[in-house]
């Protein structure tokens, strides 16, 4: 049979093509728009934050602010720098009052500043490093000219000591007026020579550093008998307070470095206190914070208009068209490749033949699923036919017996007495038993088999099951025993659980020869039924839960049962959320194990 063709408007290729084209158009337009917006924003940020390209302006003004207490002399400096760069440089107070402006133009009151010039709060994104206070802001820590010879002599001695170790070194003058030695190569001996200069402080420095240490100690809230000694390089040392009135350093007995002995999470707090105290001491020596604007000459707010040139417009249109064309071609090819195996699956499903699809993707999985579904359908159909035949056979026997005895009674060939009624009643009971079993299986298959859980004492339930089958066991010459570990209580349907165990026990008695035994044991939420019967061969063990199956097909219903007991028992276990498994050794016996998960085991 020829497969029906799908209308073009409903074809998967058409839908995939339309979807891909729409996505491609949206993506291309969005990309072009984002590119234009990105370029415009880049130019806007370039003009609005001209400091990124002209870091020298920021460094120049920060250096001026670090060495001057106000901005009164910054006008000439700004004019000269603006003329050199060809830009407009404007300096304002935080409330947008103009301090200095290199050229006229529109108001900048609503413009975004390029940076905040404050030597005590450097912009690390522009200057790099991790020091927020400009080293050029010396203030009270600046060494007076009269005290510098002492440091210069110490620097000369330290340099001679360093050279004696064979290590190169250079001397530079710090903004505070202190000399500093830089080693060409790290060396412990040379570092020891430099330490004497690093720790040496003049009287003016010592006074300022003591003030800084006391302010830092108050911020840190350390005990009153401790203070903080701050070195000229602004490293901190914790020390015990001495007697007031001594020299610059004899009040401190250094005990430990705050930045080496404290925990990492406390270092930030120590540095914050030290820096805040240092800023408080430097604030009156530096210029107040000011807003810096670097814009085009004559421009107002730092904005740039961005338009595409004809060449750029043509380039974007050509790129968009090429992307669309490639998308359409690829979509058609991929769509045809996707539809081809789907058509093969359609033909295979229509003709009930295996699908010739060996792909490893979702379509391959679909083909294998359809193939497995066809096999399961055929297997289910075979089982259905076999079950119908078995049901007809099982029902035919008791009905035939009932009909035969009734016809014999009608023809006066059999007396209508109590014995005949007993025989008819037994056949009716057997027929009712088969119908009840089939009803339970049908309910289980339909998912309507209901259980009513309730606290169930296993010891009592096992005793009831054993008592119900005691007569059958005695007649068969089989010893029936029960055993319970502890006194567990399960939450289960007692009626259905007795039915489950009853099926297992009756099956075990039926296949156990005289002199054997059947033991029913409960341990926690696990119940086992063990017999010493003939056992089940490994080939037959997987089949014992099939409906109407008997190990010996020649056995009659009287000796072999209806073949529904074990399937019903498994369904009842599954209805409780548990499992039923079997383990058997031919000639040694069989063990059925019922496991009910999630149960509470406790002693009454």
| Mean pLDDT estimate for the chain | 77
- Residue 313 corresponds to which tokens in the numbers above? 């417009």
Residue 576 lies in a domain: yes
Q: Which of 263, 242, 260, 261 is nearest to 252 (CA)?
A: 242
Q: Is the pTM of this model over 0.95?
A: no
Residue 378 lies in a domain: no
- By residue count, the chain amounts to 604
DSSP 8-state code for residue 225: T
Is the pLDDT score of 434 beyond 80?
no
Q: Are residues 570 and 510 in the same domain?
A: yes
Q: Are residues 248 and 112 in the same domain?
A: no
Q: What is the pLDDT of residue 410?
A: 81
Q: Are residues 262 and 313 in the same domain?
A: no
Q: Are residues 228 and 149 in the same domain?
A: yes
- Residue 112 corresponds to which tokens in the numbers above? 């975004």
Q: What is the pLDDT of residue 250?
A: 38
| Spatial contact of 144 and 105, defined as CB atoms under 8 Å apart | no
Per-residue model confidence as pLDDT tens digits over 271-315: 888 889 999 999 999 999 999 888 877 655 544 444 455 665 666
Residue 388 lies in a domain: no
Residue 602 lies in a domain: no
| Spatial contact of 229 and 212, defined as CB atoms under 8 Å apart | no
Measured distance CA(529)–CA(591) in Å, rounded? 6
Residue 510 lies in a domain: yes
Q: Are residues 155 and 259 in the same domain?
A: yes
Q: Are residues 504 and 588 in the same domain?
A: yes
| Spatial contact of 486 and 603, defined as CB atoms under 8 Å apart | yes
Q: Which of 537, 545, 539, 543 is nearest to 500 (CA)?
A: 545
At 590, is the pLDDT very low, low, confident or very high (cuts 50, 70, 90)? very high
- b vs e for 530-569, b when ≥16 Cβ sit within 10 Å of the residue's Cβ? bbbbbbbeeeebeebbebbbbbeeeeeeeeebbbbbbbbb
| CATH number of the domain bearing residue 518 | 3.30.565.10
Least confident range of 36-40, 80-84, 295-299, 498-502: 36-40
Helix segments in 310-417, DSSP class H = 310-351, 362-410
CA–CA distance from 172 to each of 92, 156, 178, 180 (Å)? 35, 12, 9, 5
Q: What is the pLDDT of residue 255?
A: 45
Query: Residue 300, Cβ neighbours under 10 Å: how many?
Result: 14
CA angle 128, 132, 134 (to 5 degrees): 90
Q: Are residues 513 and 591 in the same domain?
A: yes
Higher pLDDT, 441 or 542: 542
Provide the domain limits for residue 456.
450-595
- Residue 262 corresponds to which tokens in the numbers above? 């404290």
Residue 361 lies in a domain: no
Picking from 228, 262, 295, the residue at the C-terminal end of a domain is 295
Average pLDDT over residues 466-487: 90
Is the pLDDT score of 34 beyond 90?
no
| Spatial contact of 272 and 101, defined as CB atoms under 8 Å apart | no
Q: Are residues 25 and 54 in the same domain?
A: no
The residue ranges of DSSP E strands in 231-321, in sequence order, are: 236-241, 252-257, 290-295
Least confident range of 43-57, 163-177, 200-214: 43-57
Measured distance CA(423)–CA(120) in Å, rounded? 113
Higher pLDDT, 80 or 551: 80
The alpha carbon dihedral of 448, 453, 457, 458 has a sign of positive
Measured distance CA(120)–CA(19) in Å, rounded? 58
Q: Are residues 217 and 121 in the same domain?
A: no
Q: Which of 174, 170, 212, 216 is nearest to 194 (CA)?
A: 170
Per-residue model confidence as pLDDT tens digits over 255-276: 445 555 455 556 778 888 888 9
Residue 160 lies in a domain: yes
DSSP 8-state code for residue 448: -
Q: What is the pLDDT of residue 48?
A: 45
Q: What is the pLDDT of residue 375?
A: 76
Residue 584 lies in a domain: yes
Backbone dihedral angles phi then psi of residue 71, each to the nearest 5 degrees: -100, 15
Q: Which of 537, 530, 528, 498 is nearest to 512 (CA)?
A: 530
Q: Are residues 469 and 582 in the same domain?
A: yes
Going by DSSP bridges, is the β-strand pair 252-257/236-241 parallel, antiparallel, or unpaired?
antiparallel
Per-residue model confidence as pLDDT tens digits over 500-559: 888 899 889 988 999 999 999 999 889 999 999 888 888 888 878 776 666 655 444 444
The region, left, alpha or beta by phi > 0 then psi within -120 to 50, assigned to residue 177 is left
Q: Are residues 177 and 66 in the same domain?
A: no
Q: Are residues 187 and 243 in the same domain?
A: yes
Looking at the structure of the chain, the number of domains it has is 4
């Amino acid at each position: 049979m020829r497969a029906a063709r799908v209308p073009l408007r409903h074809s998967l290729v058409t839908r995939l093509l339309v979807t891909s084209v729409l996505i491609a158009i949206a993506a291309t337009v969005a990309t072009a728009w984002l590119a234009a917006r990105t370029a415009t924003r880049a130019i806007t940020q370039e003009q609005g934050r001209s400091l990124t390209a002209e870091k020298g302006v920021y460094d120049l003004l920060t250096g001026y602010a670090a060495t001057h207490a106000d901005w009164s002399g910054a006008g000439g400096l700004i004019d000269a720098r603006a003329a050199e760069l060809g830009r407009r440089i404007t300096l304002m107070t935080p409330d947008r009052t103009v301090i200095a402006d290199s050229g006229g133009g529109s108001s900048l009151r609503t413009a975004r500043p390029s940076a905040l010039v404050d030597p005590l709060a450097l912009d690390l994104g522009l200057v790099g490093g991790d020091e927020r206070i400009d080293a050029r802001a010396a203030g009270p820590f600046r060494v007076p000219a009269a005290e510098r010879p002492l440091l210069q002599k110490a620097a000369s001695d330290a340099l001679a000591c360093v050279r004696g170790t064979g290590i190169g070194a250079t001397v530079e003058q710090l903004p505070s007026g202190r000399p500093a030695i830089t080693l060409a190569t790290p060396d412990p001996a040379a570092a020891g020579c430099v330490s004497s200069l690093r720790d040496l402080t003049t009287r003016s420095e010592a006074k300022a550093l003591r003030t800084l240490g006391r302010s830092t100690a108050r911020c840190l809230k350390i005990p009153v008998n401790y203070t903080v000694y701050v070195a000229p390089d602004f490293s901190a040392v914790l020390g015990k307070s001495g007697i007031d009135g001594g020299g610059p350093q004899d009040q401190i007995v250094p005990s430990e470095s705050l930045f080496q002995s404290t925990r990492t999470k406390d270092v930030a707090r120590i540095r914050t206190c030290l820096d805040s105290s240092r800023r408080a001491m430097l604030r009156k020596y530096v210029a107040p914070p000011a807003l810096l604007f670097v814009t085009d000459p004559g421009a107002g707010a730092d904005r740039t208009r961005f338009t595409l040139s004809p060449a750029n417009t043509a380039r974007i249109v050509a790129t968009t068209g090429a992307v669309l064309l490639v998308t359409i071609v690829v979509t058609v090819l991929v769509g045809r490749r996707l539809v081809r195996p789907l058509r093969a699956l359609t033909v295979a499903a229509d003709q009930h033949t295996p699908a010739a699809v060996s792909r490893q993707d979702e379509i391959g999985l679909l083909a294998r699923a359809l193939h497995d579904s066809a096999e399961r359908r055929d297997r289910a159909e075979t089982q259905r036919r076999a079950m119908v035949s078995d049901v007809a056979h099982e029902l035919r026997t008791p009905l035939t017996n009932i009909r035969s005895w009734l016809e014999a009674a009608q023809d006066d060939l059999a007396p209508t007495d109590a014995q005949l009624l007993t025989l008819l009643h037994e056949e009716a009971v057997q027929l009712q038993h088969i119908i009840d079993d089939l009803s339970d299986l049908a309910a289980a298959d339909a998912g309507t088999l209901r259980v009513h859980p309730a606290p169930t004492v296993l010891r009592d339930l096992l005793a009831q099951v054993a008592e119900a089958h005691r007569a059958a066991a005695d007649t068969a010459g089989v010893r029936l025993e029960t055993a319970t570990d502890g006194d567990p209580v399960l939450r289960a349907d007692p009626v259905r659980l007795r039915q489950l165990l009853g099926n297992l026990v009756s099956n075990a008695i039926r296949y156990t020869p005289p002199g054997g035994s059947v033991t029913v044991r409960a341990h926690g939420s696990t119940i086992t039924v063990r017999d010493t019967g003939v056992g089940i061969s490994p080939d037959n063990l997987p089949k014992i839960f099939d409906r109407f199956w008997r190990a010996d097909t020649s056995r009659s219903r009287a000796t072999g049962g209806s073949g529904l007991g074990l399937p019903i028992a498994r369904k009842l276990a599954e209805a409780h959320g548990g499992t039923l498994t079997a383990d058997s050794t031919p000639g040694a016996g069989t063990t059925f194990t019922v496991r009910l998960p999630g149960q509470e085991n406790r002693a009454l």
